[in-house]
A and B are shown apart, each in its own frame.
Chain A
Amino acid sequence: MRFGVLQFPGSCDDLDALAAARRVGEAELIWHARRDLGGAEAIVVPGGFSYGDYLRAGAIARFAPAMEAVIEFARAGGLVLGICNGFQVLCEARLLPGALLGNVNLRFTSRQVRLEVLDTGTAFTGACTPGASLSIPAKHSWGRYYADEPTLDALEARGQVLLRYAPGENFNGSLRDIAGVRNERGNVFGLMPHPEHAVDELLGGSADGLRIFESMRLAAEGALA
């Protein structure tokens, strides 16, 4: 099982995502200017400030050559995980519905949050325990999930909301406490909290984020088998 982790100028959590992916499989960085994904079986679009994010978070990165390859890969059913800035990029690329707006407190906020897993039968949550919550850090300025009401209703009806902030944990003001959503097909998933920063008990006391990577490995290997 081989992960590819995109690397844009301005990516910050790229090496963290690489290290997290390597806990469950092989992983390589993919430079933004490359148009091929080097045979990766799953893609992680990591956190950070791609190209400085001076226009709108993720708005430039979606045009990167590597993202063109990721869009094709996703259309062919490949697994794509977007974390924080990566989630923003996937929304900008229309691989995921909705958009991320500025936090309601108008500040960059870094906090460990508890997340409820709504469906443990997906390619990104299959290794999670039903009914259990995840403790994962979130850190961002633009993390308020937004979509219009009909879209939100449809997302919920189709079970596309995979993670919700537990009561009291939604500091950014995301609508319906949405922390992570998948596409309709179920092969693309984005979330604002950082699972790659919760893979080692030593660093922050939680390894819950590892379940996301483990789920992807199981799904990819299941698909291959």
Chain B
Amino acid sequence: MSAAALELPSVEDALALGLTRAEYELVCEKQGRAPNQVELAMYSLLWSEHCAYKHSKKLLRTLPTEGRHVVMGPGENAGAVDVGGGLVCAFKVESHNHPSAVEPFQGAATGVGGILRDIFAIGARPIAVLDSLRFGEPGPAGGAGGSAQAGGAGTRARYLLDGAVAGIGHYGNSIGVPTVGGEVYFEAPYEHNCLVNAMALGLAPRERLVRSAAAGPGNALVLFGASTGRDGIGGASVLASAELDHDEQGAAAKRPTVQVGDPFEEKKLMECSLELLERGLIVSLQDLGAAGLTSSACEMASKGAVGIDLDVAAVPLREPDMQPFEIMVSESQERMLCVVEPADLDAVLALCAKWEVGGAAIGSVTDTGRMRVFADGELVGDMPVSALVDDCPLYDLRPEKPARPVYGAPAATAGVTIASAPRAILLALLSSPNLSSRRPLYEQYDSIVQSRTVRRPEQADAAVLALPDGGALAVSIDCNARRVAADPARGTIAAVLECAANLACVGAEPLGTTNNLNFGNPEKPHIAWQLTEAVRGLGEACRALQAPIVGGNVSLYNEGATGPIYPTPVIGMVGRLPDARRAGRLGFARAGDRIALAGPFSPTLPAGELAKLLGWELPDGLPELDLAAVAAAQAAVRGAVREGLLASAHDIAEGGLAVALAECCLAGGLGARVELGAEFWAAIPPVVPGPSGAPGAPGPELLAGALFGEAPGGFVLSGPAEALERLAESVPLLAIGEVGGAGLEIATGAQPIAATLDELAGAHGALAGLFG
């Protein structure tokens, strides 16, 4: 080795790169000597939390990953399920939280770019993107926008929201993949640590799926796509595996570690990759994401139980005189790595030329089991692949339920009390940042390109994408993290149930699930407890729904100056319905249809949206839940939608029954007359304090609980009376009203609600004010 390579870094250098002293000693032991600069850089990335899952791997092993539809489970770039007709659907969700907190536009854009590469890396054409976003409170609607430095309540949240939405749109719109759904919540714990999770789906003929395991010693390693620069060096270890700096200077200093995305380059890269696969020219394929070439090459070698020799001098560079370690750890975007048989090498490079993406043979597969890095033929790094990929120490969590609440009570919204008129509460909820219409956001996304979108945003509870055989895919992404914060296990179960309920409302049965576990610092016992409980709930719910986990991602160390984020296990679920023409809608469709409340529904106020507006503290735990009963209700609704019996189906979520009814009115442009009579009050378990009066005259808390309380399991359905009567044979169902009229009228036995469609729409349109 050269003299330069022999100038060995010290243990302090290792600590600065994020390794612990013990980990550094283990590296020395695995190497049989102290690592040089290239080797230390590579170990520090592959042994980072982001790459090695060292605090979560043991927990993740408890999740259900097998099922009759699963074609590819966790461990590959994305999971895949069989969707019939010889096709598989690949899907995965990933986070780009810390980059987005530092630079929201590029952070979010490259998050989309990264998840799309994961999809086409396994041979699937990306067909849809969804996003899941979390920001701090946006402040009063209509407030001034501006930069993070401008200050003022909500300024930072609006700056991040605006940038992230524009970044997602920029990338997805430009590459021609529709953004079909998503969710955004505003909560104070995300003020200093926003979340940007992106999910993508792809379709592939079953036999076209490709794995990332390198194989065949003597085969060539081809790097193709964009050239390699100094951008994003250390992103995985510096940004993704540590808490963010709590001051603006720290964030500014880290901005250069955020990559810059180029959707045009990725579009060419995608078409080139798919054509390489279609023509059978490559043995295996892997995208370059976090930790760049280091991670991609080592993972390919590890999965194939082979070695790799590569020469950094053969890597096309964006800037001259890059050091070997910089080339190995660069996170320049829009790059892929593939293994090619020598006879196909010329054809592969010719196809790269056709698509105008750079292609270069940078190394070869060996049978040594070692990762060897050369610079112009000179050996500058030599490591056992197994040490890099498999030997990072895994840590046991030390979970401990916190004795005191982790999160303070939310700030109360002025003007609403539990005793306010239900109409005032309804309008306040509809105009609140978490419940108002997402139209100002989704209008910035192309949701229809590729001609598959059967249900666009706010037309149904789940996005619906037509399949060639007449069926359709349905997809939903969700997580009410306030409920998870109140009860990590039951809150996570509720998030899984919410996704499945969304699928049921369009008539789809779950095929598989992906998840992104966004949590705080797992080395802290209370965060370890949240994580452990959430994963327990996730496993339980996915088993009950037969919706196994086929892939996912973990994002830890999400903490700001004021504490950790709400525990946020974002759930993405993909399902199938047999007939796209019968995909359900959420809006009321015909005047005269009957309206029913269906399912086992026991609403409670604590941890709900109204409780937040009222400034209530989070409860310690959520009510017990009959998972089997909720699953049965979902199956019944799904069946009715599939048979075409219903005119509309909508699950009751944030804001409870009254908000769900208002959403059905708004989506359909039709009013409704609802009467909550004695039968209703008898069916609603009085789990909130009260009733203070005689039956038929509920007190304010019971009234608010029934109208605005939340729980999994409830649906608002509409259709002909006979259809609802038939459905009542298989699910608890209560007729509560009729579609029609100029607005929403709810007779409650106490104070009624009456609001015109215009009043509802005015309240629901409040988010537009944030985009002044």
A residues with a Cβ closer than 8 A to B are 9-13, 15-16, 19, 48-49, 51-54, 107-111, 137, 139, 194, 196-197, 200, 202-204
Contact = CB atoms under 8 A, between A and B. Distances in A.
B444 A110 contact: yes
Contacts of B448: 110, 137, 139, 194, 197, 203-204
A194 B176 CA distance: 14
B264 A54 contact: yes
A12 B176 contact: yes
A134 to B, nearest CB: 16
12 contacts: A10-B174, A12-B446, A108-B444, A108-B446, A110-B444, A139-B173, A139-B446, A194-B448, A197-B448, A203-B451, A203-B452, A204-B456
B580 A202 contact: yes
Contact of B264 (A10, A15, A139, A202): A10
A109 B449 contact: no
A109 B456 CA distance: 14
B443 A110 contact: yes
Given A49-B174, A110-B444, A111-B443, A10 B451 contact: no
A13 B173 contact: no
B449 A16 contact: yes
B451 A19 contact: yes
B770 to A, nearest CB: 13
A28 to B, nearest CB: 17
B545 to A, nearest CB: 28
Given A52-B174, A110-B443, A16 B264 contact: no
Contacts of A111: 443
Nearest to B177: A12
Contacts of B445: 108, 110
Contacts of B263: 49, 52
A12 B179 CA distance: 14
Contact of B173 (A15, A16, A108, A202): A108
Contacts of A13: 176, 449
A111 B458 CA distance: 13
B176 A52 contact: no
Contact of A9 (B166, B267, B453): B267
A9 B354 CA distance: 10
A110 B446 contact: yes
Scoring B175, B176, B263, B444 by chain A CB atoms within 10 A of each residue's CB, the highest score goes to: B176
Contacts, number: 85
B442 to A, nearest CB: 8
Interface in B440-469: 442-454, 456, 466
Interface in B124-181: 166, 169-170, 173-176
Given A108-B444, A202-B580, A9 B450 contact: no
A202 B175 CA distance: 24
Q: Which 10 A-B pairs have the closest CB atoms?
A: A52-B264, A12-B176, A16-B451, A49-B174, A139-B446, A197-B448, A108-B169, A108-B444, A10-B264, A12-B449
Contacts of A139: 173, 446, 448-449
A110 B268 CA distance: 24
Contacts of B466: 202-203
Given A16-B451, A107-B771, A139-B448, 18 more contacts: A10-B174, A10-B267, A12-B449, A15-B451, A16-B449, A49-B174, A52-B263, A52-B265, A54-B264, A107-B166, A108-B444, A109-B443, A110-B447, A110-B448, A139-B173, A202-B580, A203-B452, A204-B456
B262 A52 contact: yes
B453 A203 contact: yes
Contacts of B443: 107, 109-111
Nearest to B176: A12
A9 B449 contact: no
Contacts of B174: 10, 12, 49, 52-53
Contacts of A202: 454, 466, 580-581
B453 A204 contact: yes
Contacts of B456: 204
A16 B449 CA distance: 7
A194 B170 CA distance: 19
B407 interface: no
A153 to B, nearest CB: 33
A197 B447 CA distance: 11
A126 B200 CA distance: 41
B356 interface: yes
B355 interface: yes
Contacts of B166: 107
Nearest to A52: B264
A197 B451 contact: yes
A67 B453 CA distance: 31
B372 to A, nearest CB: 36
A107 B444 contact: yes
Nearest to B357: A9
Contacts of A108: 169-170, 173, 444-446
B444 A9 contact: no
B356 A9 contact: yes
Contact of B450 (A10, A11, A15, A109): A15
A52 B356 CA distance: 13
Contacts of A10: 174, 264, 267-268
A189 to B, nearest CB: 21
Nearest to A16: B451
